[in-house]
Amino acid sequence: MAQRINTLSEIIGRYDVVLSDVWGVLHNGVDAFPDACKALASARSAGSTVVLITNSPRPSPGVIAQLRVLGVPDEAYDHIVTSGDVTRHLIAEGPKKVFLLGPERDMPLFDGLDVEIVGAEEAEAIVCTGFFDDEKEVPEDYHHMLAAFQARDVPFICANPDLVVERGHRIIPCAGAVAAYYDQLGGTTRIAGKPHHPIYEAALQAARETRGNFAAGRVLAIGDGMPTDVRGAIAQGLDLLYISAGIHVQEYTVNGQTDEASMNAWLTSEGAAPQWWMPRLA
């Protein structure tokens, strides 16, 4: 059963490295969470190395710029590793004619890669960073396109494995939802972000560059997403601080507050046993 803590400082002495989720932990896509930013900055001051690990499809320079705009200070972390960073390796290893399923703002994902962006009919691979319009669309809106890709056995590279994300006070679908739909259609998907190993390998390597070797038992993962943050931490054998007021809050909220018994029952039903939990990182 997860133990409730009030501040990260209560447990930070146990850990050399913190792997923190970003969207839903440090910000909601509109505003930074000041207490969370301070908590990670304080963890660094206490001697821990903080690596942000995010399923953003953008390579890390673009996410760093976004964090600054949202009000997340540079002092909150040592490194950032994105799904976009590790997905670039999948793109480089794949077919050269690529269809981008996602907004044009995600084109920097392909910078410096030997690929050609083509139309759907020419494509030998799909790279999905999200929806063309995530305010209005759902995966089923792409049924005919995806079915045609599946019939040609076109691989689907998912640059953002998140199913949904908070944007302000709304829940918005992400590329992971399209990947799941393509999988249901019988298509082949390739994913490097959370909960898969490549992004954790890259994040831990970034931490080693700062502090050298450390034991796996001295690494704390922080996150709010069951399919990504929680399952990723479990797969890597890492301790987890679960943030309860994120995307799953409706599963166990009573009168606007996290009901601990309901939350623990839900976590158990999902096969998850975080070491710690708190509503929001502080």
Domains present along the chain, CATH in parentheses: 3-84+195-278 (3.40.50.1000), 87-191 (3.40.50.1000)
Task: Supply the pTM of this predicted model.
Answer: 0.94
Taking 90 as the threshold, does the pLDDT of residue 204 lie above it? yes
Q: How many CA atoms are closer than 13 Å to the CA of 25, on its beta-carbon side?
A: 25
Q: Give the separation between CA 107 and CA 174, rounded to whole angstroms.
A: 17
Please report which helix (H) or strand (E) contains residue 239, including its range: strand 239-243
Which pLDDT band holds residue 6 (cuts at 50, 70, 90)? very high
Percent of the chain with pLDDT over 90: 90
Q: What pLDDT shows up at residue 275? A: 97
What is the C-alpha R_g of the chain? 19
pLDDT band at 134 (very low <50, low <70, confident <90, very high): confident
Tens of pLDDT, residue by residue over 7-35, are 999 999 999 999 999 999 999 989 999 99
Three-class SS of residue 231? helix
pLDDT category of residue 171 using cuts at 50, 70 and 90: confident
The answer to whether the CB of 35 falls within 8 A of the CB of 280 is yes
Token couple for 154: 């076109």
